[in-house]
Chains A and B, each alone.
Chain A
């Protein structure tokens, strides 16, 4: 089980020590030895040029995966409105379905939401699975988990995609656990392995400092959540004759739902709309102080944009979490993204690399942000920005 170092093959080159993200390999008498930090991630297996590190075949329980067919998208709706992320997943789901050579279906749960099935057909669903019940009017963990798990057991999809919303991230882990399969959170890239036809799910790991490609080889369905804004929306197409609405009768009763939603309160304050902004001026740790954001605010105002921030700036409490761009914040794709004093952790880059034009301003010429920037300025934000604001006036 797990990663094993073949000591007789090890030449003591230490390549694996450098490749290990978890400090789990020590050199003892010129031979690599695994310590207890090992998470079996496999980075060292790839790094070793001498085939001295192997991943042993696991003793996992086997399930029959051959009956599982088709790509499903959980078509999240709130108050009868389809969420944008569902449309994005329809776009991505179509690509995957074509690569696998299978159907793309949308799964729609709620009460009186039948009308949304036409939307889903327009966005390319071959089938829409609809399950309605007054007890599904509002999302609850218990109600939705029960129905969706029953549907997975009944129809056996091979891939199920969810938006990584506060609902998707509440529901997906529960369903994955109930149907006993794997789930990969917050994927930024989904591909089909051309040989095995399995889903390769790539996501930032270790705080976004490395990327990991996750597979779910022996369980079905393969389940993933994808953050809003990461994938491109499906385009509307003409309705086809062969599209099919399938109703799934569910038996959810009020007693199934073990919590009670007493009230839903919409935020009064106008929260910043990063997702729809064409221009974002973002600040990071390099601003050094809270006041730096006043400068960013000025520039954003001049450009008709809004202010974003890196996790470091939010953690330092210089700005509210609503403004955070990145893996744990929002994913954005504006026309113009100006990164000020942001070093460019992958965590952050994952959230903004799809911007059309990226401008980076940073004191450190080696900052990783320059590797994704279209235009880079090595310099002090507090010197560059006032001049830029002046030039725009």
Chain B
């Protein structure tokens, strides 16, 4: 079985703070991490490989050169090879241009059975790239996968709904987007880490390696554009309660009573 896992390096957005005076992002010390949903996607692929050792897992990412770090992490966890799609021509891509690029690279790899993607990345939260890769490749998809089984050539998953789940059966090739409830990702092993750094198992593909028109990628291939980015204006009209803890609580209760809230 051949599995491709699409992953992304993201800033740990939980660690980002806003400068209270300037209203700008404080970026210092914000670590880059492997996107959590993608880690679950990779873990599930690794579990297939645990059961079926002849499984081959490719981890693939698109990003700047330093995105190689998440490929190394993927290899250290147990993936067989990594592919980095990196070129200034890819930058500025919205989800559609990103999906075009990833799909083209997946076609270049060819002969896959399952494509795993994390449902969404924490720096964008769009959940669009997985489905759009599926559409570009013309294969079926199941999103929000929270359980995954493979038996006798058929794939069975639970797709999470807001109020329960669907049990879905599919056949390869298929694209699945996973949520972090799916599993508990393993840590890279020490030998795995050493091997990932020592062996050269990462290929870098630039624009020239992909047979794709420049109008399908990067900024030019992106139907959507960012018109403006901003930190929102605070509403600011609230009242800060003063005094000792007792006094504050007392005046809070009074105010809530005035508003008929208690």
Contacts and interface: CB of A to CB of B under 8 A. Distances in A.
B92 A40 contact: yes
Contact of B248 (A165, A210, A368, A377): A377
A345 B231 CA distance: 11
B17 to A, nearest CB: 8
B190 interface: no
B241 A328 contact: no
Nearest to B128: A173
Given A42-B226, A267-B164, A183 B14 contact: no
Interface string A325-353: 00110000001100000000111010001
A186 B214 CA distance: 28
A186 B126 contact: yes
A264 B166 contact: yes
Contacts of B230: 43, 210-213
B28 to A, nearest CB: 9
B96 A384 contact: no
A271 interface: yes
Contacts of B20: 366, 368
Interface string B128-141: 11111011100011
A375 B241 CA distance: 7
B178 interface: no
B135 A209 contact: no
Interface in B145-186: 156, 159-171, 174, 181
B108 interface: no
Interface string B107-142: 000000000000010111111111110111000111
Given A376-B238, A391-B250, A173 B95 contact: yes
B196 to A, nearest CB: 23
A211 B127 contact: no
Contacts, number: 285
Given A184-B224, A214-B226, A260-B170, A347 B261 contact: no
Interface of A: 1-2, 18-19, 21, 23, 36-43, 46, 58-61, 141-142, 145, 165-166, 169-170, 172-174, 176-178, 180-186, 200, 204-219, 258-267, 271, 279, 303, 311-312, 315, 321, 327-328, 335-336, 345-347, 349, 353, 357-360, 365-366, 368, 370-379, 383-384, 387-388, 391-392
29 contacts: A21-B229, A36-B88, A36-B91, A38-B92, A61-B215, A142-B140, A166-B161, A166-B162, A169-B128, A170-B144, A172-B128, A173-B129, A177-B132, A180-B96, A181-B223, A185-B124, A206-B123, A207-B123, A209-B231, A213-B230, A219-B223, A259-B142, A260-B169, A265-B164, A265-B167, A328-B125, A373-B238, A379-B248, A387-B249
Given A205-B229, A209-B18, 4 more contacts: A40-B91, A267-B163, A346-B231, A359-B256
